[in-house]
Amino acid sequence: MTDSAISAQAWIARCGGRAELAQALRESRERTLQGLQAWAQALGPDCRVPYAPELNPPLWEAGHVGWFADWWVARYSQRHWGVEADPDAPRAAARQSARGVDADALYDSSRVAHAQRWQLPLPDCKAVQEDLLASLEDTLQALDAAVADDRGLYVFRLALFHEDMHAEAAAYMAQTLGVDWPLPTHMPPDGAAAPAQTELFVPGQSVQLAWQGSGFAFDNELADAVQRMPPFRIDAGAVSCGRFLPFVETGGYRERRYWSEAGWAWVQAQGRHAPRDWRRHAGQWQVRLGSTWQALDPQAAASHLSRHEAEAWCRWAGRRLPTEAEWVCAALALPDTFVWGQVWEWTASPFMPFDGFVPHPYRDYSRPWFDGRPVLKGASRATHPRLRHPLYRNYFTPERCDVFAGFRSVASAD
């Protein structure tokens, strides 16, 4: 991804004023409502899905999105205090309480265990849609009264990005379930961003990994994180399907020597011989998109890969995963040739706080996950452009292959 228009959308979301933010909030809520309608059409009005660790009930997901905006905006007595707000400050009663529904007991992800979400008495699809529309109106009304500075707009930007994250989660849940999903207009075709060069040389330099200056930043992006980088060589784009395929065809999934101990245990438990959504059919390799199998596009970024698979390919190829610092350094130093945005990219770095980390009011965004899980950088084809920023830090456990995730590789400059 080198499109300046995408960069502009990211800047507007983090630094824009009330009018731009209101437009973005409306657009994001419309995407959520369209997603809920797509679930109902695919699964029926109850939107039931089987339990799995990587899934959530679609009605819970949609209800949680509206609840989150209410909790941090319309109901929050300190919504104008920005990052200095007390997360335990009083909240107004939820609008659902008027009809005998305890929204906090249903949708607070900090209180409701994941497995419990399948057992909850969730409102039906129509009620969730109505709540989403009412929540948007309450959010926009609060925005009209907000001071148009970073402090006053903080919770509105947080709610916007949170909703965008859940929209992407809906897309990869649909892929896991084999449900055809409405592709957003910003999603490029698979091969659209194939880099002109295969490898880039990055000279030694210092790189700042943390957000500097004004505007919105997530708490894990802040503090001081300058690193001095030696020179290195890095792939110009994510590893493609065509580049990953020889590892599969030469038996890489059966060779213990390419896998870490945890990775080998994972691949054995999964019974994998290829990436999750690949199959060989009638002598040809195919990739599943929703409910449809399509011919493998060798130029497309390999996706739905776990970090274990990324590491194994790197060992097979005699390369390694980039660190977070190497990825950021290349993205910032070579913006015209470093192509990103088709898949989230696994790195070799654990998700840990930068020195001087201070949690923001939404305490559960970062701090509970500083447990060694890897950082992913970039964005996927389903990530909204306003969420795409080279300093954004994503994080998942290494076995996750449901996410739109791939990788690129690096080598020393020698």
| Any domain includes 79 | yes
Residues 236, 196: contact at Cβ < 8 Å?
yes
| Any domain includes 218 | yes
Same domain (yes/no): 261, 170: no
Same domain (yes/no): 379, 253: yes
| Any domain includes 182 | no
pLDDT surpasses 60 at 211: yes
| Any domain includes 317 | yes
Same domain (yes/no): 114, 224: no
User: Residue 247 and residue 351: Cα distance in Å, rounded?
Assistant: 28
| Any domain includes 225 | yes
- Percentage of the chain beyond pLDDT 90 is 92
Domain that holds residue 74: 4-177
Same domain (yes/no): 171, 210: no
Task: Dump pLDDT digits (tens) for 304-331.
Answer: 999 999 999 999 999 999 999 999 999 9
pTM score, two decimals?
0.95
Same domain (yes/no): 173, 213: no
CATH of the domain at 68: 1.20.120
Number of helices and strands (H, E) in the chain? 10, 12
Q: What angle (nearest 5°) sits at the alpha carbon of residue 235, between those of residues 234 and 240?
A: 155
Same domain (yes/no): 172, 219: no
pLDDT surpasses 80 at 19: yes
Same domain (yes/no): 162, 43: yes
Query: What is the predicted pLDDT for the residue at 2?
Result: 44
| Any domain includes 345 | yes
Same domain (yes/no): 173, 203: no
Task: Dump pLDDT digits (tens) for 242-289.
Answer: 999 999 999 999 999 999 999 999 999 999 999 999 999 999 999 999
Task: Dump pLDDT digits (tens) for 169-186.
Answer: 999 999 999 999 986 656
CATH of the domain at 248: 3.90.1580.10
At residue 333 the predicted structure's pLDDT band, cuts being 50, 70 and 90, is: very high
Mean pLDDT of the chain: 95
Same domain (yes/no): 256, 149: no
In the chain, the number of structural domains is 2
At residue 213 the predicted structure's pLDDT band, cuts being 50, 70 and 90, is: confident
Element housing 247 (H / E): helix 241-249
At residue 223 the predicted structure's pLDDT band, cuts being 50, 70 and 90, is: confident
The CB density around residue 88, as the number of other CB atoms within 10 Å, is: 9
| Any domain includes 189 | no
| Any domain includes 171 | yes
